Amino acid sequence: MKPRNAPDRRRRVSSSAGTDDGARPAPVDLRRLKLYSARRRRHLAAAESVGGTPAPGATFREWLDALPDQLGARRLRAAADAVIAARRACRPVAMAMGGHVVKVGCGPVVIDLMRRGLVTAVAVHGATAIHDVELAMLGATSEDVGENLRTGRFGMVRETMSFFARAVRYARRRRIGYGRAVGQLILDRRLPHARLSMLAAAAELGLPATIHAAIGTDTVHMFAGIDGAALGEATLLDFRLACGVVRAMGAERRGGPCGVWFNIGSAVLLPEVFLKTVAVARNLGARLDDLTTVNMDMIRHYRPSQNVVGRPVAPGHGLDLCGHHEIMLPLLRQAIVEQAGGIGA
C-alpha cells in the first residue's frame, strides 16, 4: 500500500506537459530559413506553355495549337499522337466503350474513325450492344429506368430481347463471336438506322468487334428465349479475340511503336477484361512496354485508374482525359484526323 506522503508520479507527468521540453512546440524563427534563387528551381509552368487566343473563324488546327501545353490539353495531344504512331506502325487501336457513348450520340464519331482506318477494333459490354442495336432498329434508345422499374416494365422490350436471342443462336450456327453476330444480323435484317451502329460498321469493314457479357447484367438476360450456353460460347470467343487484338499491339522490338487501348465510359467491366487480355498477351510473349492506354470518362474511377492507366503500362504511357463524352470524343476525333496526314481516308 502506497504511503500517504509518497510522490504521485502520474501527477508529475501531467504537470510537466505545459513546459517547453518538447511537448509544447515553440514558434520557429523564420529568419533562419535557407533561401535560394528562383533561377535554380525546376519550373512546371512557363511562358511557352500558356494558351493562345485564336481569332473568330480560326481553323480547328489553329484552335488545337492554341491550347495551353498543360494537363488535359497535353494529354489530348498525346493521345492523338499515340494513335497516329500506332497506325503508321500498323498496330491496332481499340476503343472499349460503355453504353453512355452510344446514348450521347458519339457512335458516328467512332464509326468515322473506323472507316478511316484509325480505329481498328471495338470492345463493348452488353448494355452498349443493346443501345447500339436499339438505335439501329428504332432510331431511339434508353428508357427511364426509375419509372419503368416501379411498374415492372424495365427492360421488358420484346423486339430487343428477340433480336439478341436470335443473335446468340446466329453466333453458334456460324461459329463466330457475339459482336460479329450482332453486327452481321443488323446488316442482314437491314435495320432502318444501321448506319448509326458501331457493331454493324465493324461487321461491314471486317474489323474485330467484341461484346463482353456478364450474365445477369443485361436486360436481355431476363428473356426466357435466350440460350445461356450459346451466349457464353459467343462472349468467351470474343474474349479470346480481344486477347488477340492486345497481343497484336505489342512491338516487335523493345522501344518500338505499340498499339493504343481506349477505355471510354466503363468503370468496372471493360477495365477488368482489359487487364486479363494484357495478362494473356504478355504470357504469350507480347512486348507491351510502350503500349499507350487512354481512359476517358466524366469522373475518375478506381478500376480504370488502376487497370487501364496504371498497372498495364510503363510510367508515362497511361493517359486520363476527364470530361463529357459528347465533348471529348469529337475533340479527340478531330485532333486525330487533323494529324493523320496520309493515314486513313
Q: Over the chain, what is the mean pLDDT?
A: 87
pLDDT band at 275 (very low <50, low <70, confident <90, very high): very high
Q: What is the pLDDT of residues 185-219, one digit of tens each?
A: 999 999 999 999 999 999 999 999 999 999 998 88
Q: What is the pLDDT of residues 128-178, one digit of tens each?
A: 999 999 999 999 887 678 887 788 877 678 889 899 999 999 999 999 999
In whole angstroms, how far apart are CA 170 and each of 138, 143, 167, 207, 226?
A: 21, 27, 5, 18, 12
Q: What is the pLDDT of residues 103-137, one digit of tens each?
A: 889 999 999 999 999 999 999 999 999 999 999 99
Q: Identity (one letter) of the amino acid at 285? A: G
Per-residue model confidence (pLDDT) at position 116: 95
Adjacency order of strands within the sheet including 318-322: 209-212, 121-125, 93-97, 260-264, 292-297, 318-322
Asked if residue 202 lies in contact with residue 208, where contact means CB atoms within 8 angstroms, the answer is: yes
Cell output for 246: 492486345
Per-residue model confidence (pLDDT) at position 249: 93
pLDDT band at 7 (very low <50, low <70, confident <90, very high): low
Average pLDDT over residues 309-330: 86
Name the nearest CA neighbour of 304 among 322, 330, 287, 282. 322
Per-residue model confidence (pLDDT) at position 248: 94
Q: What is the pLDDT of residues 218-254, one digit of tens each?
A: 888 888 888 999 999 999 999 999 999 999 998 776 7
Among the listed ranges 33-47, 121-135, 262-276, 301-315, which one has the minimum average pLDDT value? 301-315
pLDDT band at 267 (very low <50, low <70, confident <90, very high): confident
pTM of the model: 0.85
In whole angstroms, how far apart are CA 267 and each of 65, 118, 127, 270, 282?
A: 31, 24, 13, 7, 23
Average pLDDT over residues 19-28: 76
**Domains of the chain in sequence order:** 59-339 (3.40.910.10)
Name the nearest CA neighbour of 210 among 116, 276, 117, 155. 276
Reply yes or no on whether the pLDDT at 292 is more than 90. yes
Cα separation of the two ends of the chain: 97
Per-residue model confidence (pLDDT) at position 271: 94
Average pLDDT over residues 38-42: 89
Among the listed ranges 32-36, 121-125, 174-178, 295-299, which one has the minimum average pLDDT value? 295-299
